Structure 1
Amino acid sequence: MKLSILDQVPFSEGASQQEALHQTIQLAKYAERLGYERYWIAEHHDLPGLTCPAPDVLLSRLGAETNKIRIGAGAVLLPHYRPFNIAERYNLLATLYPGRIDLGIGRAPGGSAEATLALSERYLEKVRQYPELIDELRQFLTNGFPLDHNFSNVTTRPVPPTQPKMWLLGTSDKSAQLAVEKRLPYSFAHFMSDSNGPQIVQSYKKAWEETYPNERPYVVLAVSAICAETEQEAEELALSQALWQVSQDSPIPSTEKARQHQFTEQQKEMVKKSRKKQIIGNPEQVVKELLKLKEVYDADEIMILTITHSYEARKRSYELIANTING
């Protein structure tokens, strides 16, 4: 089973945001040694506890610190940007690190309404134009505008030896249909979805096979998981994420703070709902559930998101999963 990592670049109470960024660099290097397929960085804006608003900036460092693991954005939130700017940035990365750059795209705001307004005044209008933005981005990446287009004489420089690989990320029927329409591999965020995920992914694969009968669809399934030596230890580690998710106003709290917190009934319901989309346990339990999800979704690859207060615990979680999968 192919394994990859989605990193939201969390930072914890008692640590600095600089430390969080350096931890991501170290984790990417370790992921490569463990044999992970790809390492994606998420984009967020002014969300407490998350550190990276510009994946391409961090990816430039990750590429220099690694040798072969694919690196990319999970995702560039395209309605915030002009496609030409994104094409330039990811062509630059693909020139520095040929054959290793993934350009995942999404349409979520990635932050509060106020942060969205500060970033892009016409966000909702751009969301409506999202399919056209994807087309324009692809044409800039390939220098593929028709001769009568306004941008036909614009070359996206530098021109890399291998183009960035575009992906479409989503959680809905609409995103799955758009991925087929735009002929893009699809990454489904199981950890975010309240919808019928397997049915959405199957509709993508079926539509793809009908539309492109000579090509194979490809699906990455993004899953939230925390793995530790014992189930009890994993459950303890998960308390920090649970408290952070229901509060959303601080860095990742310590396990001790989360253990002492008196969750309200409303918070308990929120945690219960979130836990249905999360895998927590010892290596055998976690891998068993990952394999089950892979089969249910018929996914080609599992991408794991892990958030804990302790960086060492997060690193160990990825290690235990990889070592168990690889035997």
Structure 2
Amino acid sequence: MKLSILDQSPISSNQSAREALEGSVKLAQAGEKLGYSRYWIAEHHDLPGLACPAPEVMLGCIGAQTKKIRIGSGAVLLPHYKPYKVAEVYHMLATLFPDRIDIGIGRAPGGSAEATNALSDNFLQQVWKMPDLVKELLHFLHNDFPEGHEFSGIKASPTPDIAPEPWLLGTSIKSARLAAENGLAYAFGQFMSDNDGRAIIQEYLECYKQRKRDQHPQVILTVSVICAETNEKAEEVALSSLIWSLQKENREGNQGVPSIQEAKQYILNEKEQATYSKLKQNMIIGNPSFVKQRLKEMQAFYKADEIMIVTITYSPKDRISSYQLIANEIF
């Protein structure tokens, strides 16, 4: 089973943003040593408790402090940017770190309406143009605009020997079809979706095969996991993440991921208890053998080639330990 890491660069209540970002570097280094295939870092804008608005900056830092693990964005939020600039940035990274760069493409705003307006004057119009933006970006990544196109005379420099590997990230039928139509690998965000992921991935696979692509379609399934030595310990560690999710929903999570003790003191009302149960059902929480069993079941159910794990804990040690326990059990 291929396993990878998605890092949202969470800030715990006792951390600074710098400490959280330093923790991201350490996580990527640990992932490499443990045998994980990729490390992706997410893009968020002015969201309390999340430290990374610029994956491309962190990827330069992380690439310089790792040797072989694939690194990438999960995702670059394309409607905010011109495809040409995105291609230049990721060509630069692919030149510095050959055959290691992934470019995950997403269309979410990644922040509040106010942050979105500060980033872009026409975000919604760009979302509608997403299919065109994706095609334009792919042409720039491969420098293969047809002759006569307005951009055929320019290149996204520097041109790396091996282009970044593009992935389309999504949680909908629309994103699945867009990935298939463009011959792209597809990453489904199960951890952040209530949609029927199995049906969405099946749509991707069928649309991809209908176009008779030479390459095999690739699917990553991204799941939220907390692993510890025992089920009881995993439940305790997961409490911080679950309570923080509730706090963010109530716009109370500005202090970052709460400690386990702080989370235990949080009193749930009736509505929050229902939300808590729903959030927990969408996670895998347990000891290594339980996590291994659930990951294998999910891989088979969703027909995924690879599982990408996102883990949020209060303690950086608990986070790395979770990935280590899973790796030791599976690899």
Q: TM-score range by the shorter chain?
A: over 0.9
**How far is 1:145 from its partner?**
1.6
**How far is 1:84 from its partner?**
0.7
> Counterpart in 2 of 1:297?
302
> Counterpart in 1 of 2:312?
307
> Counterpart in 2 of 1:220?
220
How many residues align? The count is 326
> Counterpart in 2 of 1:235?
235
Question: Deviation per CA, 1:295-320, whole angstroms, max 9, x where unpaired?
Answer: 00010000000000000000000000
Question: Deviation per CA, 1:208-256, whole angstroms, max 9, x where unpaired?
Answer: 1221254311100000000000111111111111111111132001110
> Counterpart in 1 of 2:185?
185
Letter in 2 for 1:223: V
1:259 aligned to 2:264?
A: yes
- Alpha carbons 2:87, 2:140 under 8 Å: kept: yes
Structure 1 CA distance, aligned partners of 2:68 and 2:287?
Answer: 29
**How far is 1:51 from its partner?**
0.5
Select between 75-84 and 141-150 the one with higher mean Cα deviation.
141-150
> Counterpart in 1 of 2:199?
199
**How far is 1:187 from its partner?**
0.3
> Counterpart in 2 of 1:84?
84
Question: Deviation per CA, 1:51-83, whole angstroms, max 9, x where unpaired?
Answer: 000101000011111111000000000000000
Structure 2 CA distance, aligned partners of 1:285 and 1:297?
Answer: 18
> Counterpart in 2 of 1:321?
326
Call closer, same or farther: CA 1:146–1:213 in 2, change over 3 Å.
closer
Which of 274, 279, 286 is equivalent to 1:269? 274
Structure 1 CA distance, aligned partners of 2:137 and 2:72?
Answer: 16
**How far is 1:20 from its partner?**
0.5
Name stretches of at least 5 consecutive residues in structure 2 with no aligned partner. none
- Alpha carbons 1:91, 1:159 under 8 Å: kept: yes
Secondary structure, aligned partner of 2:155: coil
- Alpha carbons 1:209, 1:215 under 8 Å: kept: no
The within-5 A match list for 1:50-89 is 50-89=50-89
Letter in 1 for 2:283: Q
Percent of residue pairs identical: 53
Structure 2 CA distance, aligned partners of 1:79 and 1:317?
Answer: 34
Secondary structure, aligned partner of 1:261: coil
Letter in 2 for 1:292: E
1:287 aligned to 2:320?
A: no
Structure 2 CA distance, aligned partners of 1:207 and 1:152?
Answer: 29
> Counterpart in 2 of 1:9?
9
**How far is 1:267 from its partner?**
1.6
- Alpha carbons 2:183, 2:213 under 8 Å: kept: no
**How far is 1:146 from its partner?**
2.2
The within-5 A match list for 1:5-154 is 5-154=5-154
- Alpha carbons 1:43, 1:110 under 8 Å: kept: yes
Question: Deviation per CA, 1:270-297, whole angstroms, max 9, x where unpaired?
Answer: 2111112110011111111011000000
Structure 2 CA distance, aligned partners of 1:154 and 1:321?
Answer: 46
Secondary structure, aligned partner of 2:191: coil
**How far is 1:152 from its partner?**
1.6
Letter in 1 for 2:292: V
- Alpha carbons 2:101, 2:165 under 8 Å: kept: yes
Letter in 2 for 1:264: N
Letter in 1 for 2:12: S
Name stretches of at least 5 consecutive residues in structure 1 with no aligned partner. none
Select between 157-166 and 200-209 the one with higher mean Cα deviation.
200-209
Letter in 1 for 2:128: R
Letter in 1 for 2:280: R
> Counterpart in 2 of 1:155?
155
Structure 2 CA distance, aligned partners of 1:213 and 1:52?
Answer: 35
Secondary structure, aligned partner of 1:236: helix
Letter in 2 for 1:276: Q
CA RMSD in angstroms, aligned pairs only: 0.9
Structure 1 ranges of 4+ moved more than 6 A = none
